[in-house]
């Protein structure tokens, strides 16, 4: 069961907004909030949406959620090999943010395909998609 599975979309957006407000106020944040703050900080174009929290529209929260997902995957190396693949992408691209985006694109495609087919996501396919993006 996912950490956020029992939360509504509005509750998740509010978690992002609260973490960002704490950061802006210089208040202490939890490790999870620190990860959220880091992801939000990478995207100044989303700051106004995060400030709006549950009232925001658009897919900024989906984008940031995918950042969170690939970071969590890397931290536990699930699917096996994703941590090393992220490291390789970072080394080849020279940019951790760009490397996350490669994984995010592959993850999004894999999730979309699984949902469309009514089956669980294929971890091997996900890694293969991302691996194809490795610059040679």
Question: Among 18-27, 48-57, 90-99, 116-125, which stretch is predicted with the lowest mean pLDDT?
Answer: 48-57
Average pLDDT, rounded, for the chain: 91
Interval 26-44 mean pLDDT = 96
Residue 2's pLDDT band (cuts 50, 70, 90): low
Residues 6+ apart with CB under 8 A from 107: 66, 69, 70, 126, 130
Interval 1-30 mean pLDDT = 87
Q: Is the predicted pLDDT of residue 1 greater than 50, yes or no?
A: no
Interval 48-59 mean pLDDT = 80
Q: What would the pLDDT profile of 122-131 be if each residue is shown by its tens digit?
A: 999 999 999 9
The three-class DSSP label of residue 3 is: coil
Distances (CA, A) of 8 to 3, 41, 88, 115: 12, 23, 35, 19
pTM for the full predicted model? 0.89
Q: Is the predicted pLDDT of residue 55 greater than 90, yes or no?
A: no
Pull the structure tokens for residue 42. Answer: 């990478």
Q: What would the pLDDT profile of 87-124 be if each residue is shown by its tens digit?
A: 999 999 999 999 999 999 999 999 999 999 999 999 99
């Amino acid at each position: 069961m996912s950490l956020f599975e029992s939360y509504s979309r509005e509750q998740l957006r509010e978690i992002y907004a609260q973490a960002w407000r704490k950061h802006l106020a210089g208040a202490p944040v939890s490790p999870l909030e620190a990860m959220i703050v880091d992801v939000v900080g990478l995207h100044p174009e989303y700051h106004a949406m995060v400030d709006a929290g549950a009232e925001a529209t658009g897919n900024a929260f989906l984008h940031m959620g995918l950042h969170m997902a690939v970071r969590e995957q890397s931290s536990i190396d699930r699917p096996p090999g994703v941590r090393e693949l992220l490291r390789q992408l970072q080394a080849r691209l020279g940019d951790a943010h760009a490397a996350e985006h490669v994984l995010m694109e592959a993850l999004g495609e894999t999730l979309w395909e699984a949902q469309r087919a009514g089956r669980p996501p294929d971890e091997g396919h996900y890694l293969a998609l991302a691996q194809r993006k490795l610059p040679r």
